[in-house]
Structure 1
């Protein structure tokens, strides 16, 4: 196994998971492994930008709802809607009820079907509603939720790229990263992220550390359920499935944080 230079992991993560102008110089399995292990770092940058946008609007006198809309819009902008598009395509594929080959063909089409539209509407409504409630309670809770949900979204991708999860197609981003991350390494990254979330928990108020860990765990669990369903349904993962996993994990995390 060749040694990967330290910067290749972050370059792969930012170059494939964000719209930031970061070039990816290597597409081999080693770079994919390092990149997917760095995926939560890309999420932290995206989440910090989203939180900063929301806080700026609050500082300028905007209502929590407007701050929430802006916060939800930033990750979409910084990914050129990649994950939302993946969620919509995955919904169309699952909702079609077709055999795997036909469902995968539907997912590759450029248009969005009714299942995809409905999924996007309800997911974005849930994200904005949760963020508005959190900002309305405390600016710190809203900002932390924005950052944490973005990290959890990309952590779900690290776990989905673990060894043993096959690709549904022989080409595309899904094939490039599927099965690239050893399970122990994926679990180590997940553990580190959860410890960091627990440390930031006091910003959420009473029982903050518990809430800050429980929300990501449930978000990752929801993504895992979707991953297993897609693997059974399509025979593996695709780039669209990865997008769907990210949005599922982020939305579940936000909703759980908004409860109680």
Structure 2
């Protein structure tokens, strides 16, 4: 029994340290980091320029210039095409490109990162607060486009051809029939990456004026501070429980 407390402690430390997201103890851990994914930088920084719809993030970006050029030009991204039923209209495609620019370039997703195991990313954002007006505009520009599935991340596309195609038995229908409304569209299409939030609450702008400061900086900072406050209380309680548990173990050895 002499080695049991040591083994227990070591196991606990391995469990905690196995995920970098569990080791964040200060604001910079949330605000000076990028998603752990294939095309992302490890930390946000300036770029001389970013292409077209990705321009707003050039002063502090998690993406490289080349990435933004390719995502505008390539017909697929990570072997995925938005136009799996038919090509998107130019206006609808513009909003999907903006959404992708946010995904690749935003330095503000730290507070909403969670672990994920995919070949092209180890983390994803989950329930990041998207401003309701941004969601409504995106949906209204795309509601007459066509798709066969509502969840484009985990919906069951067929990738046997090397790119996503509709599975057997899933016909193409207009977005407004598949999703029903703007909120369901924004929250479901990327498997919960976005959480639609009223504009009078802290929320993310999917795109913003490149000549102005990033409005999402303040939103991310506020959420990071909330997480750290909750974490502080939780860690104190956990330490108290751990001490009691250690004392109980010690009485048995």
TM-score range, shorter chain: under 0.3
Q: TM-score, normalised to structure 2's length?
A: 0.27
Counting strand residues as a fraction of each chain, which structure ranks higher?
Answer: 2
Flag the structure with more relative contact order, 1 or 2, with Cα contacts below 8 A and sequence separation at least 6. 1
Q: Which has the larger radius of gyration?
A: 2
Counting helix residues as a fraction of each chain, which structure ranks higher?
Answer: 1
